[in-house]
Structure 1
Amino acid sequence: MTYVTIGGVTVGLMILAYQLALWWPGLKPLRKDPVRHAAALLPFFLSCAYGALTVLGIGGLIGWAARTAVWITSWLGDVALVWGVGTDAGQRAGGTVYLPLTQTGGALVLILTVIVVVTAKKSTKHGGAISRGAWCGMTLGTSAGIAGFAAVPLATAANWLGGTVYGAM
């Protein structure tokens, strides 16, 4: 299990803030059609959930890539905290107790990986949001904050869905 540092969580929150700033339509349009505007965030948050799943005990190439992304993000965030605002770095952001994925849950994550990669490459409108969402989910998925609390229901849902799909065959 790779643990994210405070710097890594800070970067994850900055990615989330950046996406929300890009999305913000203004108060008047949001009041006029809230459902349509909220739906524009769906690709980001779905890929954020995927990113959180990739750091939940996934091995192989996908797990290595996710752990490497978390490590690099934590390092970059720590450097930004030290050189940007002069705080201490390297403090673990409080790892969450996570539910590892079962074999069928891991198979579902492999299928989701193909979907996320192809969608991010082919979608000109949502490709950036999908990539940022996966990165955000990877960094916040191992934190003890809100995204960390979401990891257990995500893993449970992936294990259940994978068991249902593969159990039906």
Structure 2
Amino acid sequence: MNIVTIGGVTVGLCILIATLVKWYPGYRTLKKKPVPFLGQLLPFVLAWGYGVLAILTVGGLVGWIADTTMWISNWLGDVALVWGVGGETGQSATASTYVPLTQTGGAIVLILTVAMIAGAKKSKYGSDLKMGAWCGICLGTSAGVAGFAAVPLAQAVNWAGQTAYGVIA
């Protein structure tokens, strides 16, 4: 598993901010009818959760793709920090504890991977799904996000896998 750098977290935050800026319908519109506009964020948020789970996978093709995506994001963010604003690179604070995915939790992540690939190819929300997954991969192992979302997501997937495969098997 790669360690996220400040550049990688910056890339993830840039994706998140760009998505929110493109989505924001305005205060008055959001005040009148919030539900339809909040629903527009749902594909991004679901894909973000998948990205967090993907970076928590330890091995296999999904883990390799997530690690490679994080490595590229770290590199891009570090280059942007150094050459773009004259900053410095360095490791970000990472979560001190990870909840490992169980065998059945990994199976659920594999099922979600198939759903994400199908959705990205066939859905009109393909761009939102890709950007959400990328953002989740970049932010999934940072200390703040991991404490907030990664542990409960991993526990939920492990529970869902145990429940589903306990009933099926």
Does TM, scored on the shorter chain, surpass 0.5?
A: yes
More helix by share: 2
Taking structure 2 as the reference length, the TM-score comes to: 0.96
- Give the letter for the 1:116 counterpart: M
Which residue of the partner structure matches residue 65 of structure 2? 65
| Residue correspondence of structure 1 range 1-169 to structure 2 within 5 A | 1-89=1-89, 91-96=90-95, 97-124=97-124, 126-169=125-168
TM-fit CA distance, 1:57: 3.1
Unmatched runs of 5 consecutive residues or more in structure 2: none
Aligned mates of 1:135, 1:158 — CA distance in 2: 19
- Give the letter for the 2:28 counterpart: K
RMSD between superposed Cα atoms in Å: 1.0
1:7–1:75 Cα contact (<8 Å) kept: yes
Q: 1:107 to 1:62 in 2, by over 3 A?
A: same
Name the % identity.
59
Aligned mates of 1:46, 1:148 — CA distance in 2: 18
Q: How many residues align?
A: 167
Runs of 4+ in 1 over 4 A off after TM superposition: none
TM-fit CA distance, 1:147: 5.0
Taking structure 1 as the reference length, the TM-score comes to: 0.96
TM-fit CA distance, 1:17: 0.4
What secondary structure, in the 3-state scheme, does the structure 1 residue paired with 2:57 have?
A: coil
- Give the letter for the 2:32 counterpart: K
What secondary structure, in the 3-state scheme, does the structure 1 residue paired with 2:2 have?
A: coil
Aligned mates of 1:18, 1:87 — CA distance in 2: 21
Aligned mates of 2:21, 2:118 — CA distance in 1: 25
Aligned mates of 1:2, 1:105 — CA distance in 2: 21
Aligned mates of 1:64, 1:41 — CA distance in 2: 27
TM-fit CA distance, 1:58: 3.2
Unmatched runs of 5 consecutive residues or more in structure 1: none
Of the structure 1 ranges 101-110 and 148-157, higher mean CA displacement relative to structure 2 is found in 148-157
TM-fit CA distance, 1:36: 1.2
TM-fit CA distance, 1:29: 1.0
TM-fit CA distance, 1:28: 1.4
TM-fit CA distance, 1:156: 0.1
